[in-house]
């Protein structure tokens, strides 16, 4: 096998450039094990939509709105009937030794990382919880990895990967999280897809926690005065724009990709189209995109657009609620 510089796709790596780290990594892992699914299908089967409002005091970004579900990877494998658990480690050295054993046995591994420590990102900000696939070792001891939209495999040093796997930056603390199955088997069914759609709608509808689901949007609106008065609101709004539109979401806070999933799932479950779920999700995607663009504009404005932001967030909640109500009738 040719090994030079940083870029090469080994013939055994079935990587396709994707939009979201978790769903594109899972798509690649499934393909390696002989199961061909689109990235959108992987995202939907994992009930990937979410809304979580996070407050991180004394940080550069004191408020974050997370637009993906928590525990997506575990939800995906549970939905398709595959046993799953992250393997965690006490030390970076133990994590590297385990990874090396898996790669030597030709078992690619799903890893969670912080992009700040991955050299090919050259990121000035921490962003933990980022999924990649490790495929094999180079002759010099580096690791071939694939990552989301990058079309080719890249090499990362063992040290850099150890740092990325053991990030202590909030909100996600890493302990070398790794999943390297020997084999994967499943068959996608209509019942599986319906259950995934219902589960995701219920997650969004759940009112038990004011910091998650649709109720988190109300919390966000009520907290807008604090966004204005805490830290650098121009950076906070810029980061919120990036999280919704740019940082591996496929645009519109994952809603555009989820609409694709619904259209694919309708082949198995025609009632999805009867309930107009793809159309309703496309409307939600547009509302999230509009909000992202307003946040971007806010980051460049001279005054904090509190009323406009509140109205835009209400519009997101209205369109998302219309989708959720229809999905729960499926």
Mean pLDDT, rounded, for 95-120: 96
Q: Say what the pLDDT of residue 12 is.
A: 66
Measured on CA atoms in the order 157, 161, 139, 30, is the torsion positive or negative? Answer: negative
Listed in sequence order, the residues at least 6 apart from 266 whose beta carbon sits closer than 8 Å to its beta carbon are 272, 273, 277, 278
The answer on pLDDT for 8 being more than 60 is no
Q: Say what the pLDDT of residue 59 is.
A: 86
* Of residues 14 and 237, more confidently modeled: 237
Contact 90, 162 (CB under 8 A): no
Q: Whole-angstrom Cα distance, residue 119 to residue 123?
A: 8
pLDDT band at 247 (very low <50, low <70, confident <90, very high): confident
Q: Whole-angstrom Cα distance, residue 99 to residue 93?
A: 10
The answer on pLDDT for 198 being more than 60 is yes
Name the average pLDDT for the chain: 93
Q: Which of 48, 50, 10 is closest to 32 using CA atoms? A: 10
Mean pLDDT, rounded, for 266-281: 98
CA 22 from centroid of its chain's CA atoms: 5
Mean pLDDT, rounded, for 218-238: 96
pLDDT band at 251 (very low <50, low <70, confident <90, very high): confident
The answer on pLDDT for 112 being more than 80 is yes
Could you tell me the maximum CA-CA distance found in the chain, to the nearest angstrom? 59
The answer on pLDDT for 11 being more than 90 is no
Q: Whole-angstrom Cα distance, residue 275 to residue 281?
A: 11
Q: What percent of the chain has pLDDT over 70?
A: 96
Tokens standing for residue 269 = 């479950």
Mean pLDDT, rounded, for 308-319: 98
The answer on pLDDT for 124 being more than 90 is no
Mean pLDDT, rounded, for 303-329: 98
The answer on pLDDT for 3 being more than 50 is no
Tokens standing for residue 30 = 């499934």
In 3-state terms, what secondary structure has residue 52?
Answer: strand
Q: Which range, 8-22, 88-102, 122-136, 160-174, has the best average confidence (pLDDT)? A: 88-102
Tokens standing for residue 313 = 């967030």
The answer on pLDDT for 6 being more than 90 is no
Mean pLDDT, rounded, for 163-189: 92
Residues 111, 117, 122, 124, Cα dihedral to 10°: 120
* Domain residue extents for the chain: 21-36+83-179, 190-327
SS3 percent helix, strand, coil of the chain, rounded to 5, is 50, 10, 40
Q: What percent of the chain has pLDDT over 90?
A: 84
Listed in sequence order, the residues at least 6 apart from 174 whose beta carbon sits closer than 8 Å to its beta carbon are 112, 113, 114, 128, 164, 165, 166, 167, 168
Q: DSSP letters along 93-130, please?
A: HHHHHHHHHHHHTT--EEEEE-GGG-TTT--SS----E
Element holding 135 (H helix, E strand): strand 130-137
Q: Say what the pLDDT of residue 4 is.
A: 36
Mean pLDDT, rounded, for 62-78: 95
Q: Say what the pLDDT of residue 170 is.
A: 74
Mean pLDDT, rounded, for 304-328: 98
């Amino acid at each position: 096998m040719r090994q030079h510089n940083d870029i090469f796709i080994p013939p055994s790596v079935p990587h396709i450039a994707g939009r979201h780290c978790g769903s594109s990594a899972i798509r690649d892992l499934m393909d390696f094990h002989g199961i061909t699914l689109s990235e959108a299908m992987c995202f939907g089967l994992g009930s990937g939509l979410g809304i979580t409002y996070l407050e991180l005091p004394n940080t550069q970004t004191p408020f974050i709105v997370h637009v993906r579900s928590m525990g997506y990877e575990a939800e995906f494998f549970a939905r398709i009937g595959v046993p799953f658990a992250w393997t965690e480690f006490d030390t970076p050295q133990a994590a590297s030794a385990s990874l090396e054993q898996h790669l030597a046995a030709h078992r690619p591994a799903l890893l969670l990382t912080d992009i700040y420590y991955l050299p090919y990102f050259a990121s000035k900000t921490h962003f933990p919880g980022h999924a990649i696939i490790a495929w094999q070792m180079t002759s010099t001891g580096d690791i071939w990895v694939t990552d989301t939209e990058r079309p080719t495999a890249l090499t990362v040093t063992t040290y850099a990967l150890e740092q990325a796997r053991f990030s202590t930056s909030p909100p996600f603390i890493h302990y070398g999280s790794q999943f390297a199955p020997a084999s994967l088997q499943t068959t996608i069914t209509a019942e599986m897809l319906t259950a995934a759609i219902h589960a995701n709608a219920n997650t969004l509808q759940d009112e038990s926690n004011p910091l998650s689901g649709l109720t988190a949007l109300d919390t966000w609106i009520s907290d807008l005065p604090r966004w204005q008065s805490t830290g650098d609101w121009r950076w906070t709004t810029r980061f919120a724009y990036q999280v919704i539109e740019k940082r591996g979401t496929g645009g519109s806070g994952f809603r555009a990709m989820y609409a694709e999933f619904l259209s694919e799932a309708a082949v198995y479950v025609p009632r999805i189209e009867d309930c107009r779920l793809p159309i309703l999700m496309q409307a939600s995607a547009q509302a999230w995109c509009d909000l992202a663009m307003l946040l971007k504009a806010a980051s460049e404005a001279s005054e904090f657009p509190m009323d406009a932001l509140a109205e835009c967030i209400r519009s997101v909640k209205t369109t998302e609620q219309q989708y959720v109500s229809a999905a729960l009738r499926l």
